[in-house]
């Protein structure tokens, strides 16, 4: 599956998915295992999301 994704969107954009997988794991853990989010968890997830948004928007604007 990863190789299909690499072929479709490229290595750079596929790398950003690797950044978001831990955030998704935290959400699933909070829903099913009772993980309690702390300030550091919120900050880390927010920074990961913000970084992905910034990088993806810059790539989109460069292609236009």
Better-predicted residue by pLDDT, 18 or 1: 18
Distance CA 19, CA 26 (A): 12
Distance CA 18, CA 23 (A): 10
Taking residues 34-48, report their average pLDDT.
94
In this predicted model, what pLDDT tens digit does every residue of 5-40 receive, in sequence order?
A: 667 777 777 777 778 888 899 999 999 999 999 999
Q: How far is it, in rounded angstroms, from Cα 24 to Cα 38?
A: 16
Taking only Cα atoms into account, the Rg of the chain, rounded to an integer number of angstroms, comes to: 14
- Enter the pTM of the model: 0.68
CA–CA distance, 48 with 23 (Å, rounded to integer): 8
Taking the C-alpha atoms of residue 40 and residue 23, their distance in angstroms, rounded to an integer, is 12
């Amino acid at each position: 599956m990863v190789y299909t994704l690499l072929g479709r969107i490229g290595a750079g954009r596929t790398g950003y998915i690797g950044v978001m997988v831990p955030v998704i794991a935290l959400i699933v853990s909070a829903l099913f295992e009772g993980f309690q989010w702390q300030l550091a968890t919120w900050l880390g997830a927010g920074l990961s999301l913000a970084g992905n948004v910034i990088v993806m928007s810059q790539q989109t604007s460069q292609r236009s």
